């Protein structure tokens, strides 16, 4: 919550927040930068093979810009991403987002457990996850795709939102996870990581 007041769509600038892929940005230049810097961790085509590194290929343009902006502005603490984002210009942010958002979304790396498949749908309805992340949790615009994301990464982010330590543009995510138990977070991460949403 405490990060919310620092970042707003207005701060980001209307030029950076546009529909995917953003007109005026250069996906080819983004691809070149991605192959120089990002591929080592986020993998080929933005498909990460490391459980603590999120997949970003096919993520929403606006969300990628938002995330990079937050790392660069130190509104989203990350020892790994802050120094990398610090080297990126506004054009790099737009170009990288144009490139990654043009790719096909990643697929699940695992199957959800039977228990998570049974409890997950009700939990994501009752806690309104599907209202913002959309049914199947593919995300929309500045709300990220979370379907099929790595289970370890999802768990860590949900715990960080609950603890108030993850950057959050409007405080909505921080509110959305208040009162969830560790078991609820486990169920959500297990369920969401196995979703094969197109
Ligand atoms: C040394 C490994 C490493 C490199 C290189 C790297 N990243 Fe990351 N990236 C990470 C990790 C780890 C996270 C998760 C940070 C966290 O815990 O919030 C992350 C998070 C992100 C996110 C947020 C995704 C989400 O779902 O919220 C974006 C976007 C991103 N990186 C883009 C990039 C881009 C673009 C580059 C290249 C310019 C890059 N990263 C280079 C490791 C790396
Ligand atoms: C009111 C809208 C809203 C609701 C409800 C909501 N989310 Fe979110 N969620 C967001 C937004 C916006 C972000 C991006 C926040 C940011 O990075 O500033 C986000 C981010 C996330 C992330 C981080 C993804 C990443 O790539 O780092 C996860 C995981 C997540 N939400 C899961 C959930 C789950 C599970 C629920 C239900 C318990 C939920 N969300 C409910 C809007 C919402």
Domain CATH code at residue 16: 1.10.760.10
Q: Which residue has the tokens 């609820």?
A: 184
* Least distant ligand from the CA of 39: 1
Q: 66 and 131: one domain?
A: no
Distance 149 CA to ligand 2 centre (A): 12
Quote the CA–CA distance of 132 and 175 in Å, as a whole number. 13
Q: Whose CA is nearest to atom 16 of ligand 1?
A: 78
Looking only at Cα atoms, what is the longest distance across the chain? 46
Q: pTM of the full predicted structure?
A: 0.93
Domain count, the chain: 2
Quote the CA–CA distance of 177 and 110 in Å, as a whole number. 24
- Cβ neighbours for 126, distance < 8 A, ≥ 6 positions apart: none
Q: Domain limits at 136?
A: 114-193
Which residue, 44, 76, 101, sits at the end of a domain?
101
CA angle 173, 62, 141 (to 5 degrees): 65
- Cβ neighbours for 66, distance < 8 A, ≥ 6 positions apart: 12, 17, 142, 169
Tens digit of pLDDT at every position of the chain (198 positions): 333 333 444 444 444 554 445 568 999 999 999 999 999 999 999 999 999 999 999 999 999 999 999 999 999 999 999 999 999 999 999 999 999 999 999 999 999 999 999 999 999 999 999 999 999 999 999 999 999 999 999 999 999 999 999 999 999 999 999 999 999 999 999 999 999 999
In this structure, is residue 198 part of a structural domain? Answer: no
């Amino acid at each position: 919550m405490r990060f919310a007041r620092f970042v707003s769509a207005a701060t980001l600038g209307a030029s950076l927040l546009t529909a995917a892929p953003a007109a005026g940005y250069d996906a080819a230049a983004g691809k070149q930068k991605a192959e120089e810097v990002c591929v080592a961790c986020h993998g080929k085509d933005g498909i990460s093979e490391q459980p603590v590194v999120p997949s970003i290929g096919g993520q929403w343009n606006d969300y990628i810009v938002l995330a990079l902006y937050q790392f660069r502005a130190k509104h989203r603490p990350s020892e790994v991403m802050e120094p990398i984002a610090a080297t990126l210009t506004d054009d790099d942010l737009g170009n990288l987002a144009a490139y990654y958002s043009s790719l096909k979304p990643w697929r699940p790396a695992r199957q959800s457990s039977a228990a998570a498949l049974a409890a997950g749908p009700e939990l994501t309805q009752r806690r309104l996850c599907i209202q913002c992340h959309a049914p199947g949790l593919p995300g929309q615009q500045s709300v990220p795709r979370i379907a099929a994301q790595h289970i370890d990464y999802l768990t860590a982010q949900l715990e960080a939102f609950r603890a108030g330590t993850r950057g959050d543009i409007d405080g909505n995510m921080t509110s959305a996870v208040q009162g969830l138990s560790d078991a609820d977070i486990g169920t959500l991460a297990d369920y969401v990581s196995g979703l094969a949403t197109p």
